[in-house]
Structure 1
């Protein structure tokens, strides 16, 4: 059973997160442009505080598209032990000059609006002076073009005229695509704050996970399992940028899957192609391996112990299984509560007399279905999980059989 956690963005004026429209306690007025510039890393630090508050030690999967994909990557770098799986959709490991250029045009449109007033427009907003909505609408129009593709615009609009039979040979709205962009810009101003737009775009511009010019170096601390998805017609975050992420992760020997979905929707496909994306994500998340479900820090006992000591350890720890380790930490057997019962019946004094020595084991990368089949075939309720040196943990059956479960390092 999993639960979804969706954190608010820093600076999001539409929710309870703090941002430029929030009250500055030092002045009693909105922060405006006095609000500090934030980064994607700041956003993730805030999200980590949320998961800590909720008592979540590890997220099974973190998923996001576009800027959300950048946040996913930042999670795996800033808090690598907190993320089991990462799903990066239509994103990049660093913002390119072209992406920064488009963002700057949008920012300039807002800042050039006289109503922006240096970011201090909240106290004077009214029906007659609504704030920098003209600049924000223009910024959204420019940004929205980057979300589409040449193919999608041809299919959606072509050269269709808007509510007229012939072109006007003036500066009125002639084409349907023009009207569409005006609509996108105008409606955006009704639900978004201009300063928040500036802060988001700046955070995206500053995003750069490369280290010494190398994305592989920047991602070398990440060890989650990755699914990276790109869109064939996306020219804002084109497929080559997703492929760079895959190459960097592969260089660091991370488990990574890559898929480029075929779509004419451009960058917007990460929102519109739910069928393709949901299929890829479900396939990725449904491939559960032993390492995804094994429980760590399982108690053990060293070989050579007496049955009395073993029995007391089982009782005190309230467990039914104890892996038996040699002095060097090698797995040499396993003992159960049932073995103790037999020891009492037969007057066995030493652990070596009752423990199972031919232990059936698994490895972290084994599919959970395969591990469950082993348990069924051998009529056992737990499997030790070993590494290449036979030092280990133990996993829970995915079938949720209500038996005690174990893992040990």
Structure 2
């Protein structure tokens, strides 16, 4: 990795770190200033919105990176507009289906299963996910074009930053509840979309109308669908944890779990910086047949993630007592923090290998392996939660991501020709 690329990673790491720091502070402030029940309610809505925003894109954002990275400068503008307009159709269809599904909580059969979710709040959370997803697709155009700083700002900083600012304003005027915060988050998501997407591509109504007139390239549609399944398979274990914990362990445990989980994600900062900066490079190296260059980049990235993870883990462990006290977490959660830090480390390793395989178009292997490992782990985790303490059940996250990182690492080892050289 030459000096220029190292600086690019460091630059993205700083921006990613700023975004993650703002996100963690936002979570901690909610834990501190909202009653436990309201905080747990908002965290559940926020996590549903985050998951929905990923699902609404359904792999299209990865396709955008791969397409844009291969284009000549003169070809980028028309293709990026075409893909951005198409993203409105994909996201709109997902939104309509999910909004209709949201009314299921009115049915008596679900009244005891989803006691803390109100239909209006859930609908607002899903609308927020819509505009976050559309902004993310536009940001992926910038990432594919090599403008990683601006893309990082749009994907990781602006929405949590403005949400945090809005939270400070709310706290100064009133004691906010979950409804106030989810409305705030949705308003920020809409505002960022208007500035980012509409500012470049035009009237949103025209974009949505045009989206249903354009035709997919069959290759793009197939790739996006595969990658959507890959993302679902990759994230299903973590998503299962975020959605099942409040119903099994209650509001107090869930509030602490979300704070600890959010802090633990800081360990993945280096992975995110590496993947975000080099995903375009991974794709171009593989497409150009430069397996030696790809091998070297993967090795350096792997070592960077290990070294940085150890440093971040040490910092978090040393400052945990202050963090718990400020967030007003009354339950001892040091063991859970250590477990989630370990799970995030192995998740970071698996995510690096996943991006390499994705950029190498090895989508089928990615989906089969991740669906098998993570799908099985999610089912086991949900069952374990019924019988085990939260810390014991969370050990399954560590085991799942360890096995996944091993399986994906061996595939990268084979795909890049390391096995043939040995």
TM-score of the two chains, using structure 1 as the length reference: 0.23
The TM-score with structure 2 as length reference comes to 0.22
Flag the structure with more relative contact order, 1 or 2, with Cα contacts below 8 A and sequence separation at least 6: 2
| Bigger share in helix | 2
Q: Counting strand residues as a fraction of each chain, which structure ranks higher?
A: 1
